[in-house]
Amino acid sequence: MMKHNQKTWHGISKKRRNSAFFIFVFLGMLTAFGPFVTDMYLPSLPSMTSYFNASTSLVQLGLTFSMLGLAAGQIFFGPLSDKFGRRTPLLVSMVLFLFSTLACIFAPTIEVFIALRLLQGIAAAGGIVISRSIAADKFKGASLAKALAIIGAINGIAPVAAPVVGGAVLKVTGWQGVFGVLLAVGLVLTGACIHFTESLSRAKRSQEKITRTLGLFKNVLQKRKYMLCVLQMAFAQAILFGYIAASPFIIQQHYGFSPLAFSLFFAVNSVAIGVGAGMSVKFKRQETCILTSCAGMLVCSVLVLAALAGGASIVLFESLLFILLFMMGMTFTAATTLAMDAAREQAGTASALLGAAGFLFGSIVSPLVGMGDIMLSTGITFVICALGSGLCGVLAVRQKSSAPQSAQSTAY
């Protein structure tokens, strides 16, 4: 009887397939997970300084270390998912996240809290990197572009929407409540991970020994088109993180708006990124989309610099910023699609490097926009990053494609 039950269960598990709806919702939640971990608690930073009796700069290290964790964690979980499949590393990352988040709530000192934020970032990185890998497992070509358009929209919206959600939670609870919400989301995702059916068959997994899994990065680093797409997207994400770091000061201090009005600006701009990501699938070729978005980002960055330097009205500044973020949403999808198609054989590793580069560039740019006159430094940073993104985009398009754009999606 026991053997019969085991065989029956084995047969059911092999036949079970996740629905397309579940996959898209699941991937969307995993994608939004990382940005919410880093940004959702931003409105609570002032209250945390008094709670821990610490300086503002020390409390802000919690944000810096979580971003470093998100970068390092993707490097760790990406190769592991190529070696052991997507489901097991994902479950490990979720359990680690639940532990670190619960510990953050009861952290006795700011130093302990910062260390736990690093661990929390590493854990959340598993969801980000593996979500792109699952998309690459299940889709190809044009279908992959559509799937990544959804992921790209969420990936663009989440960093700017998270502080708005965090502010709303903070109105009814303390900073611990924000982490309580993250803990609840983590529990939901853990349940979804248990329901998720493995997307990477054993035949397609890396045969390298575990001690040599990091050697998989050598393979993807040698793919020129992939690396150019990684750099193109990293420069674009640097603009996004620069915007997140500078906009509270520009909107509230320079233009004199309230924190509530600032949250509304954030919400409107998040729509721009999401619409841009969705618009990318209208292009027949993602190469055309990436060139269009790069040109748009460069033009808008120059105009934003001129607006900030010339003391333009809030209407003009916000209009230019909206278009800039719209173009950024387009490039997120196009760059991710081309990069994952170019390194399909090591999707987990490729996704890890792609995600880590964005957070690494963001951690570098975030303090730069605050140097000197924030109006000028922000505009100049935008232009420099847009130039870098455009150059990499042009070079990437000139490389030969490794997968046909018209390929159909694989079955669930």
Query: For 20-398, which CATH class?
Result: mainly alpha
pLDDT tens-digit readout, 131-158: 877 877 877 767 776 776 777 667 666 7
Model pLDDT, residue 213: 61
Record the pTM.
0.69
Q: How many CB atoms lie within 10 A of CB 132?
A: 30
Burial 321-360 (b: 16+ CB within 10 A, else e): bbbbbbbbbbbbbbbbbbbbbbbbbbbbbbbbbbbbbbbb
**Three-state DSSP class for residue 107:** coil
pLDDT tens-digit readout, 189-245: 999 888 888 888 788 777 766 666 666 677 788 888 899 999 999 999 999 888 877
Model pLDDT, residue 112: 95
Contact assessment for residue 382 and residue 402, using Cβ atoms and an 8 Å cutoff = no
Model pLDDT, residue 56: 65
pLDDT tens-digit readout, 272-287: 887 888 888 788 888 8
Model pLDDT, residue 314: 92
Confidence of residue 325 (pLDDT cuts 50, 70, 90): very high
- Residues in the chain, total: 412
Model pLDDT, residue 409: 37
Mean pLDDT of the chain: 81
Please give the share of the chain, as a percent, with pLDDT higher than 90. 28
On the question of pLDDT at 339 being above 90, the answer is no
Confidence of residue 323 (pLDDT cuts 50, 70, 90): very high
On the question of pLDDT at 410 being above 60, the answer is no
Contact assessment for residue 381 and residue 260, using Cβ atoms and an 8 Å cutoff = no
Question: 214 vs 85, which has greater pLDDT?
Answer: 85
Rounded Cα–Cα distance for residues 350 and 74 (Å): 10
Confidence of residue 183 (pLDDT cuts 50, 70, 90): very high
**Three-state DSSP class for residue 169:** helix
122's enclosing H/E stretch is helix 110-138
Domain boundaries, given as residue ranges, for the chain? 20-398
Confidence of residue 313 (pLDDT cuts 50, 70, 90): very high
